[in-house]
Chain A
Amino acid sequence: MHGQPRRPAKPEDDAAAAAKAAKLRDLQVQVLQNHHSRTYTEEALGLSFKLLEINPEAYTAWNYRKLALQHNLRELTDPEAIKSSVDDELRVVEIALRQNPKSYGAWYHRKWLLNQKLTPVDFKREFGLLDKLLKVDARNFHGWNYRRFLAKFMGVPEEEELKYTMDKICDNFSNYSAWHNRSILLSNLLTQQRKGFESKQKICSEEFELVTQALFTDPSDQSGWFYHLWLLAQTSSPENPQLISSWPCNGAKLSLSLVGKKDDLNTVSSSLKEGIVPIVLYFNEPVKGLSPSTVKLNSDLVIGNNIQWRPLSITDSGHSNCWATYLEITNKECSSSQQFSVEVSIPCSDDIVSRSGSHCNCPVHFMFTIELGNNDDKARNIDLFHDPISWNGSESVQSHGNPSSVPFDHLNITDALVQEESKWHLEALSEQIDLFRELPDENSKFAKLTLARLSLACAAIKSRGNSPIERKGYCEEALGFFSDLIYLDPSHKRYYEDERSSVQMDQLTCNMATFMEHCSDQVQSNLSPLNHVQLCRLALTRIGYPERLLWVQMLDLSHNNLRSVEGLEALQQLVCLNISNNQISGFTSLEPLTKIISLKVLDLSCNEIGAHSIDTARYICLSPFSHKVEPCDAFEECRKKNINVEEFWDAILFFKSVNLVQLDVKGNAVANKDTFRTVVMTLSPSLKFLDGTCVH
C-alpha cells in the first residue's frame, strides 16, 4: 500500500467497505471458476474485465484473457472480427492502467498482444497513450520501457527518440528518466558512428552545454548531475589500457640465494629465498588476456613452458588490474654465483583487452637481472623467526639509503601516453571547472563534488603528462572540496572520506621526496633488511595506488580507519603487514591477503573482527553462498574438532589460505572465543607466535 493515510475505520465506512469487498470476492471466485472450466463466453470475459478494472494486479485474470483470446480466435477468420477482439483487449489494458499505471500485468498484456501480430498496430494510438501517461507521470518507468519497446518494434530511428528525450528534458529539466534514455541512445549512436555522431568530442561538448544549462537552472536537482558524471567519464577516462607499473621494475637487480627447503617453514618466504621470483604487472584498468603469447619472457634462465599469468583480483573474473606469474628457479641453476637477465616485452596486442573492449596499443619492454649466489650469511636465515617481529619502528625510520631501489614510474612510458586528444580533454575539463566555480549556490554539494571530480580528472591527465606540480595543485583542490563536503553533507561523510583517502594515498606516494619520508630499511634480528613503508595515523580508510607499493616487504598501516585491504594483493613481496587499530570487520574482507604467498607476519589486533552480525564483505569474497568455494576439507577437519563451521566459516577459509608464522589478533571480539583459537591452531601449522606468545 503506498500513500494511503493511516486512520481508524469509521463505523459508517464498514457497510460500504463490506459491500465492496463482497463484490470483489465474488468476481475473483467467478473468474477463477471460468478459468478452470475454460469458459470463454462473452459474459465470462466481461467478469474478468470487471475484476481487472478493480484490481489490475490479478495476474491469473490476464492469463485467462490470453487463453480466451487464443481460443476465440480459432473460430474467427473475418479480419474485422479479429480486429474487434484485439481492440477489446487493448481497451481492457487502458482501463486497467487508469486504475494502476504501474501494473506489470496490464503493460505486459499489451506487449504480448502486439507481439501476436494479429492486426496492424495503430502506432498513433500507442504513442498517444504513452504521451498521455508520461504527461501525468513523466517518470513512469513502465511507460518508458514501453516506449523503448515500441520504438524497437516499429523501427523508429534512435535519432528520433533522442529528439523526444530533448523535448521531455525541455519540458522539465528534472526528469531523470529522460536523461537516462538520452545516455543510452547517445552511447549507441556514438558506438555505431552514425551520421552526425562521428565525433565524440563534438557530441560531448554539446551535451556539456545542455546539462550545464539544466544545472544552473536548479543546482539541487540530482538528475542533471548524474548525467554530468557520465559525460565526465566519457571525457576523462583513457581510451586504452596501459601498463603503469611492474615488479621487478626496469633495470632492477635482484639477488637470490637458494637455501630454503620445502620443509623449512620458518624461512622467510621472501620469495627470493625459496627460488620463486614473482613478476607483477599492473595496468591502469582491469584487463584480460595475459598469456605467454601476449607477454614475451626472454631469459638465459631456463624458463619452463608452463608460465601462467594469474589475475590477482579478488574475484576470479578474468579481468584484473594486476597480473602475476612466478618464475621458479631450481637448484640446478644455482651451483655457483651467476647472473641472469630476464626481459619482459608486451608488444601491441589485440588480445590484452579491457572490459570495454579496447586493447593495449602501447608496447612495453623492460629488463631486470637476477643474481644467484651462495652467500654464507644466508645460512643464519634458516631460523628467521626466532623472535617475533616488532613493529615499534616509528622512531627508527630513516630515509631510504638508496632511493633508486624504490621503483616507480620506471617504465618510462608516461610520455607516450600523452596523446593529442588529452589536450581537448584537459581544455574541456578546465572549462567545466571555471563554469562551476561561477555557480550561484556555492554550497551546492553536487557542485562541490563535481568540482572535486573534475580536479581529479585533470590530475590524472597531468600525471600521464609528467607535470607533478600542476598535478599536485589539482589534488590539493580536490582534498579541499572533500573536506567541505564532509561538513556540508554529513550523512554521506564516509563516502567523501573514502574518496579523500584515495587522493591522500596519491599525494603520499606520487613523488619520491614525500614518499621517502615514509620509507626505510627495517633491520630485524635474524632477518635481512626489508623494504619498509610506514603509513600510520593518516586517517586512511582504504588503500589507493597499490601499483606504487609493489616492492614493499614490510608495511605498517596501523592506526588508520581502514575497512578494507583491497589492493594489497598486488604486493607480492610483502612479508610483514601491520593493520592493527583499524576498522576491519571480518575475515572475509581480508581475502586479498590470501593472494600474497610471501606473507608471514600479520598484525590484526584492535580491529572489529567478530563484532558485527552483518558482514559487508560476505559477497565480495569467495564463499559457498556465491558458489565459488565448495565445502572443503578444512570444514571437515574443523567439524572433527567440534568447531561450528556455520559460525567460523570465514575464519576457516582465511586461515586455510594463508601460511603465517606470526599473528596478532587480540583486541577483536572474535579473539575472545576459545573455539577461534582452535580454528587458528588447526589450520596454521607453521604459526609460531600468536598474540606475542610462542605456540610451537
Chain B
Amino acid sequence: MGEPGELAADEHVRYIVTAEKKKDSFESLVMEHLRLSGAYWGLTTLDLLHKLQAVDAREVVDWIMSCYHPESGGFAGNVGHDPHVLYTLSAVQVLCLFDRLDVLDVDKIADYVAGLQKEDGSFAGDIWGEVDTRFSYISICTLSLLHRLHKINVEKAVEYIVSCKNLDGGFGAMPGGESHAGQIFCCVGALAITGSLHHVDRDLLGWWLCERQCRDGGLNGRPEKLADVCYSWWVLSSLIMIDRVHWIDKEKLAKFILNCQDKENGGISDRPDNAVDIYHTYFGVAGLSLMEYPGVKPMDPAYALPLDVVNRIFLRKQQ
C-alpha cells in the first residue's frame, strides 16, 4: 500500500466535474434514478474543497427544479422518476449550498414531508408507505433546513426513534432492527436536530462506535465487518454529535481514507485499490473534513452540509 501521501484535491475535483458529464456508462445508468443524491454528493465535495464555482449554479438549480413534482411537493431522483423524501432532502441540501432556497415553494415541500408522518411518529419515504428511521432523519433534516419543523409532531417523531434504540446503545431501521452505523447516524442526527440527544447513552454508543475502527485504521458499519470509506462519515459524524470522537485514532483513519484515493484519475473508493465512485469520494472527503484535514472546509455533523452553510441558515438575521 505504501505511504498514502496527501489529499489529491485537484484530481478529485476533476473527477467529479467529468463524472457529471459521463451519463452513458453502465455505472452511471445504474445510478440514474438517484442522480439528485449524486449531485448532492458531488457538489458538497466540491464545496468542501473550495471549488463550488467550478459548476454553473444556474444550470444546477434549473436541473434540480426539473426533478420537482409540483402536484405532490416532492422531488424525484431524476427527471421522470417518482418523488421521494430521499431526493427531496438532496434537493434542499444542494439549494442550501447555493443559498437558493428562494426558488422553492417552501410550504408545499414542507407539507409533502410532514404529510408522510404516521400516527406512531415514524415517517414513510413516499406514498407507498415504506417506514424506516432513515426517513425520520431525512424528514426532520429537510423541515429544519426549511424552518418548518413545527409542521410535524416532533415529540412523537422522537418517541419513535427512541423505540428503535437497541441494548448495545445503537439504533436500527425499525423497532428490533439491528444497530448499523448508517442507521445510527440517521437516528442520532434526528435526535441532535430536535435537541433530544439525552435519549442517547453516549458512553455506551460511543464505545460501540469507536470499536468500528478496524486494524487497518478504517471504520466498519457493524461488528465483524470490513472497513469501508463510507463509514468514515456515518461513524465519525455520530461520534462528533455525542462528543466521543476522541475515542478513535484519527491519524490511522485519515491514512486509510487517503489510501483509497485514485491519485491519478481522482476519486475515492470503498477500500484501497477498488473502483472509485462519487459516493465514496464524498464520504472520504467529508470524513477528512470532520478530522480537520487542512484545506478542507469543516462540515456540520448533523445536517451533512458545510458548517458555514448551516451557520448561515440558522444564524443569519431573519428578515
Contact = CB atoms under 8 A, between A and B. Distances in A.
Contacts of A253: none
Interface in B205-235: 206-208, 210-211, 213, 222-225, 228
A492 interface: yes
Contacts of A315: 195-198
B27 interface: yes
A620 interface: yes
Given A564-B243, A614-B298, A619-B241, A176 B223 contact: yes
A251 to B, nearest CB: 34
B176 A635 contact: no
Contact of A5 (B84, B180, B202, B273): B273
B166 A6 contact: no
A312 to B, nearest CB: 13
A120 to B, nearest CB: 22
Contacts of A514: none
B166 A180 contact: yes
B289 to A, nearest CB: 8
Given A1-B277, A495-B210, A184 B27 contact: no
Interface in B44-75: none
B248 interface: yes
A111 B173 CA distance: 15
Contacts of B198: 313, 315, 317, 319
B242 A620 contact: yes
B111 interface: no
B168 interface: yes
A139 B144 contact: no
Contact of B130 (A55, A108, A144, A183): A108
Contact of A491 (B77, B213, B242, B316): B213
Nearest to A617: B243
Nearest to B318: A631
Contact of B315 (A184, A626, A627, A646): A646
B27 A1 contact: yes
A411 interface: no
A141 B180 contact: yes
Contacts of B104: none
Contacts of B248: 491-492
Interface string B294-306: 0000111111000
B240 interface: yes
A63 interface: yes
Contact of A6 (B172, B202, B208, B275): B275
Contacts of B197: 315, 619-620, 626
B180 A176 contact: no
B179 interface: yes
Contacts of B274: 1-6
A148 B274 CA distance: 35
Contacts of A614: 240, 289-292, 298-299, 301
A21 B197 CA distance: 46
Interface string A207-244: 00000000000000111001001100100000000000
Contacts of B32: 28, 58
Interface in B138-154: 144, 149
Contacts of B76: 60
A679 interface: no
B187 interface: no
A92 interface: no
A557 to B, nearest CB: 18
Q: Is the interface of A mostly helix, strand, loop or mixed?
A: helix
Given A495-B247, A619-B302, A226 B128 contact: no
A177 B240 contact: no
B298 A624 contact: no
Contact of A63 (B30, B82, B277): B82
Given A21-B25, A108-B128, A619-B197, A624 B314 contact: yes
A310 interface: no
Nearest to A105: B130
A213 to B, nearest CB: 18
A266 B249 CA distance: 46
B178 A626 contact: no
Contacts of A145: 172-174, 176-178
A616 interface: yes
Interface residues of B, number: 95
A671 interface: no
A589 B315 contact: no
A613 interface: yes
A646 B202 CA distance: 28
A188 to B, nearest CB: 9
Contact of A59 (B81, B144, B168, B195): B81
B205 to A, nearest CB: 12
Given A5-B274, A492-B247, A60 B193 contact: no
Interface string A36-59: 100000000000000000110111
A6 B77 contact: no
A144 B195 CA distance: 31
A17 interface: yes
B317 A184 contact: no
Interface in A604-624: 612-614, 616-620, 622, 624
Contact of B249 (A112, A490, A628): A490
A495 B207 contact: yes
B23 to A, nearest CB: 9
A624 B317 CA distance: 12
B33 A226 contact: no
Contacts of A317: 196, 198-199
Interface string A89-122: 0000000000000001000100110000000000
A491 B224 contact: no
B224 A625 contact: no
Nearest to A355: B199
B270 A184 contact: no
Nearest to A222: B223
Interface in A167-191: 174, 176-177, 180-181, 183-184, 187
Contacts of B270: 1-3
A614 B130 CA distance: 35
A645 interface: yes
A612 B300 CA distance: 13
B202 to A, nearest CB: 8
A111 B132 CA distance: 13
Contacts of A297: none
Nearest to A564: B243
A635 B279 CA distance: 38
Nearest to A498: B247
Given A3-B270, A494-B246, A625-B310, A25 B24 contact: yes
Given A5-B274, A6-B275, A57 B308 contact: no
A4 B275 contact: yes
Given A24-B26, A222-B211, A491 B249 contact: yes
8 contacts: A36-B80, A145-B174, A589-B243, A613-B292, A619-B197, A619-B241, A626-B195, A627-B144
Task: Give 6 closest A-B pairs by Cβ, nearest first.
Answer: A317-B198, A626-B195, A613-B298, A491-B249, A619-B192, A495-B247
Interface of B: 24-27, 29-30, 32-34, 76-77, 80-82, 84, 126, 128-130, 132, 144, 149, 166-168, 172-174, 176-180, 192-199, 202, 206-208, 210-211, 213, 222-225, 228, 240-249, 252, 262, 269-271, 273-277, 279-280, 289-292, 298-303, 307-308, 310-312, 314-318
Interface of A: 1-7, 17, 20-21, 24-25, 28, 32, 36, 54-55, 57-60, 63, 66, 104, 108, 111-112, 139, 141, 144-145, 148, 174, 176-177, 180-181, 183-184, 187, 221-223, 226, 229-230, 233, 313, 315-317, 319, 490-495, 498, 563-564, 589, 612-614, 616-620, 622, 624-628, 631, 635, 639, 645-646, 649
Given A58-B33, A180-B178, 15 more contacts: A5-B274, A6-B262, A21-B29, A57-B34, A63-B128, A145-B172, A148-B177, A176-B223, A183-B167, A183-B168, A490-B249, A616-B246, A620-B242, A625-B192, A627-B193
